[in-house]
Amino acid sequence: MGAVAPSGPTLARLEVAAAEIANGEPIVEIGAGTGPMTSEILRQAPASPVLALEPNPVLAADLQRRFPSVRVEQAFAQSLPERCAAWGHPQVRRVVSGLPWAIWPDSLQTEILDAVLAILSPDGRMVSFQYVHSQFLPAAVRFRTVLESRFGGVTQTPIAWANVPPAFVLVCDHPRLKERPGPTLHG
């Protein structure tokens, strides 16, 4: 966990609403933590199959106990392509993130974003949150720049002032896969 307190219900409502999940469509949650987003996903989209990844074994076990209808896997987000394929949904339209992106090195952010982009459909959306007090810190500014290079559109919601600490949601649309080198032509 990368916060002083778990995300509150106000932020969870805002983030899941910003995801615009069609009830019944598969949804992936990364960094499920203590479950505020999981709970809100189930409230807003009760017919949606949910895959929640949480690497902490204690938190993952608690999530599975509290949310038996959710497929909870004790795993890191970098394993998304394999996990989604095994789940039967190799591509999804929505990813809800509770990850503390800005505290991680660029290399880890890249690994995770590569995994997210590998499973997002072309009309996909990833939502994540950022704390108001940290948005102008160098790490947060760098991460926002990375998001803008990896998605066709990055916007933010109004601030959830009731969350501790206050936060807003980053809405990332139109995923861009990293350019891959084409085949070498020999003449």
Q: pLDDT 10s digit of each residue in the chain, 187 long?
A: 444 455 789 999 999 999 999 999 999 999 999 999 999 999 999 999 999 999 999 999 999 999 999 999 999 999 999 999 999 999 999 999 999 998 999 999 999 999 999 999 999 999 999 999 999 999 999 999 999 999 999 999 999 999 999 999 999 999 987 654 444 444 4
Q: What is the set of domains in the chain, with CATH numbers?
A: 9-175 (3.40.50.150)
Question: In angstroms, rounded to a whole number, what is the distance separating the alpha carbons of residues 184 and 179?
Answer: 15
Residue with tokens 């810190």: 137
Question: In angstroms, rounded to a whole number, what is the distance separating the alpha carbons of residues 78 and 173?
Answer: 20
Provide the whole-model pTM.
0.90
Query: Which token pair is 169?
Result: 């949601």
Beta-ladder partners of 118: none
For 64, half-sphere exposure in the C-beta direction (CA atoms, 13 angstrom radius) is 13
Name the H helices within 20-159.
36-44, 57-66, 80-87, 106-119, 138-150
